[in-house]
Amino acid sequence: TLNAAKPEKGITVQPTMYGIFFEDINFGADGGLYAEMVENRSFEFPQALMGWNTFGNVTVNTADPAFKNNPHYVTLKDPGHRDKRTGLENHGFFGMGVKKGMVYNFSVEARLADKGAKAGKIRVELINKDNDIVAKSRLDITSADWKKHTITITSPITAKDAFMRVYLESKDAVDLDHISLFPSDAWKGAIRADMLQALKDLQPGVFRFPGGCIVEGTDLATRYQWKNTVGKVEERPLNENRWNYTFPHRLYPNYYQTGGLGFYEYFLISEHIGATPLPILNVGMACQYQNKGNEAKANVPLEELDPYIQDALDLIEFANGTTDTKWGRLRAEMGHPEPFNLQFLGIGNEQWDEAYPQRLEPFIKAIKAKYPKMNIIGSSGPDPSGERFDYGWKRMRDLNVELVDEHYYRDENWFRDNIKRYDKYPRKGPKVFAGEYACHTKKVEGKEPTRQNNFLSALHEAAFMTGMERNADVVHMTAYAPLFAHVDGWQWRPDLIWVDNLETVLTPNYYVQQLYSTNPGTNVLPLTAGKLPVAGEDGLYASATYDKRTKEYILKIANLNDGAREVAIEVKGLKNIGAQTVTTLRSDNPKAINTIAKKDVVKPVTTTIAAQTGNILKLSVPAQSFAVYKFGK
């Protein structure tokens, strides 16, 4: 029975309920959502020419630099022989993706290298994988002072693995820095359009950023510092990415963060996709996984926490402050005088033991003293159960945080066995933010668990999410993790969206998230079997909501059985079921995945069913399927 008698009285589904979590892992930012095509554009990688091949007379210098935070630049000089050339070559991130007819915006900070020089010239070429020049453009450099120069190049080809060469064409030498190439369709000139669209299509309620472990850093020196990611991009200092060290079988020693996708951009993206922004800040602890036994160095002494707390206060000012405050002014100067309406702030990620609440407490005190309405999100540590987890929750209750971020990367059995997880959660105290979760299917092939984005994992997530939705009074926010992965450069899977240099692939897991996030409803409706609430009878898992804006009833059912099930549901309080739409995600193959070559192996299908009179909803639920039924309009 579905009780629809007073639908607007049902538990409120929070607008933040189905969100996304972005972290720069798997080349999610540089090489991914940040559309810069040049790797190491500022020559600030530990070896200044990482990512570049040079020929002829090229040197790296720092004297009188263009940018004080990123002082390295290259000098291109005459090679000294008629048949020699000077220049450099960049292959981007696993090649450069170019599209036929697309305009690419090239820019460079440049000056004449020598006193008395007058006429510098460079030639920029786009090359295909066979080493043919497919497009070129020239640029005059006539200024003795650093100056930004721009030109455009139109690609006559579509290729995932093009690259770029920059030649010196003049006798006069030139200094070059911040050599950059963006596709002209990048949103705000910086964000990869197709990846952004994939996020927008989820209509997410909340956007958590920028991590994850990168917030913590492998050590404190390389923790994520938001102040280094705002202001002029050329002056944002490079940071080492924590994800170039783990999973040594997939080591990427060239994984650095330019900060080009920084906190200002994250706020802009939140606004663009209609999600509440949720930044996470370092609590004064480097990654605990990577610093076992080294806590003295990895945890900031309590008496030295102030700068970390100040970063949090300043971030709130950056997001919400008026334009006559220091950080609010910077936001306005960057192009957004209106506040970003920050309401939630996470402090710490997956930290555990007393070291964490000890540091969190002074943050809470300082933030609440200045911004009493700010909602603070604490963490329960990395495990979804056990003593450490219970201790984390207990301490978060003591500290009275608004939400607790809990994470679970578990197998399909755990997901099935935990569908009732939130039925038992206390109704008072902090609410739940399931800030990172994904079903890692157990199947092992060869040495590595496959951990694919297969249909089996998506189906178990769908079933589990019925339990989240039924308990929307306790669960206020959720997010699958990680969000993006590059097919040619990843450290972790499964991931919600896969990309190469030109295309995106939406996984079965993406479609599950989308079916929830685009059909959340506004109020939960009680579903009962006999006298008992429905929470998974006979391998069927269900939740129901009402949407007071569209006046529709929404029923979600996951069928984990190998056979179809016939179901009849009495909808109390409704006269006629009316017309129905059914959107189903299913596959006969639990291992089915979507790939760049075959994107639509698992995809939802929507059908419409003619209006039904009477209030009995009769459904035939296919085997191994997840379906969303909408009716009652």
| Residue list 590-619, contact with ligand AHR (CB under 6 A) | none
Burial label for 360, CB within 10 Å (0-12, 13-18, 19+), is buried
Beta-sheet strands, E only, within 258-343: 276-281
Is-catalytic flag, 436? no
Segment contacting ligand AHR (CB under 6 A): 40-48, 50-58, 148-156, 209-217? 209-217
Query: Considering only residues 213, 286, 347, 403, which one is a binding residue for ligand AHR as defined by CB under 6 A?
Result: 213
Q: Which two tokens stand for residue 480?
A: 């699958």
Helices vs. strands in the chain: H and E counts, helices first? 11, 37
Torsion of CA 470, 471, 475, 479, to 10 degrees: -30
Residue 23 or residue 169: which is nearer to ligand AHR going by CB? 23
Within a 10 A sphere around the Cβ of 33, how many other Cβ atoms? 26
Shortest CB 481 distance to ligand AHR, Å: 4
Closest to ligand AHR by CB, 351 or 545: 351
Closest distance to ligand AHR from the beta carbon of 76 (Å): 40
Q: Does 212 bind ligand AHR (CB under 6 A)?
A: yes
- The residues with which 445 forms a beta bridge, in sequence order, are 448
Hey, which residues between 468 and 527 contact ligand AHR (CB under 6 A)?
Answer: 481-482, 492
CB-nearer residue toward ligand AHR: 79 or 384: 384
Site string for ligand AHR, 107-146 (x = CB under 6 A): ----------------------------------------
CA nearest neighbour of 632 among 619, 615, 618 = 615
Q: With the CA atoms of 484, 485, 491 and 496 taken in that order, what torsion angle do they form, in degrees rounded to the nearest 10? A: 50
Q: Which stretch binds ligand AHR (CB under 6 A): 205-213, 506-514, 530-538, 551-559?
A: 205-213
Binders of ligand AHR among 1-40, rule CB under 6 A? 23, 25
* Residue 172 or 350 with smaller CB distance to ligand AHR: 350
Q: CB-wise, 481 or 602, nearer to ligand AHR?
A: 481
Per CB under 6 A, which of residues 267..306 are in contact with ligand AHR?
Answer: none
Q: Where are the alpha helices (DSSP H) in 321-417?
A: 326-333, 355-370, 387-399, 412-417
Strands 147-154 and 605-612, bridge-based pairing:
unpaired
Q: Strand 532-533 to strand 565-572: parallel, antiparallel, or no bridges (unpaired)? A: unpaired
CA-CA distance, 339 to 318, in Å (whole number)? 8
Q: Residue 492 Cβ, how far from ligand AHR at the closest point, in Å? A: 6
Size of the site for ligand AHR (CB under 6 A): 13
Give the nearer residue to ligand AHR in terms of CB position, either 481 or 502. Answer: 481
Report the nearest approach of ligand AHR to the CB of residue 361 (Å): 22
Cβ nearer to ligand AHR, comparing 178 with 493: 493
Q: Is 381 in the site for ligand AHR (CB under 6 A)?
A: no
By CB under 6 A, residue 627 contacts ligand AHR? no
Distance between CA 114 and CA 121 in Å, rounded? 14
What one-letter code names the amino acid at 452?
Q
Cβ-contact 79, 56 below 8 angstroms: yes
User: Considering the rule CB under 6 A, would residue 211 count as an interface residue with ligand AHR?
Assistant: yes
Task: Check 234, 350, 406, 552 and give the catalytic one.
Answer: 350
> Can you tell me the distance from the alpha carbon of 508 to that of 517, in angstroms, rounded to the nearest whole number?
14
Site residues (CB under 6 A) for ligand AHR, limited to 432-451? 436
Q: How many CB atoms lie within 10 A of CB 631?
A: 21
Q: At what angle do helices 508-517 and 455-470 cross, to 10 degrees?
A: 20
| Shortest spacing between CB 350 and ligand AHR, in angstroms | 5
Type of residue at 331: R
- Give the other-Cβ count within 10 Å of 8's Cβ: 10
Work out how close the CB of 213 gets to ligand AHR at its nearest, in angstroms, rounded to a whole number.
4
C-alpha closest to that of 452 among 461, 440, 438? 440
Nearest-CB residue to ligand AHR?
Answer: 212
Using CB under 6 A as the binding rule, the residues of this chain from 548 to 577 that contact ligand AHR are: none
How many CA atoms, within 13 angstroms, populate the side-chain half-sphere of residue 617?
Answer: 29
For residue 431, the cross-strand partners are 403
Using CB under 6 A as the binding rule, whether residue 240 contacts ligand AHR is answered as no
Determine the interface stretch with ligand AHR among 206-214, 263-271, 590-598, 621-629 (rule: CB under 6 A): 206-214
Residue whose tokens read 């936001």: 331
Touching ligand AHR, residues 335-374 (CB under 6 A): 349-350
Q: Contact positions toward ligand AHR, by CB under 6 A?
A: 23, 25, 211-213, 349-350, 382, 407, 436, 481-482, 492
Active site residues: 350
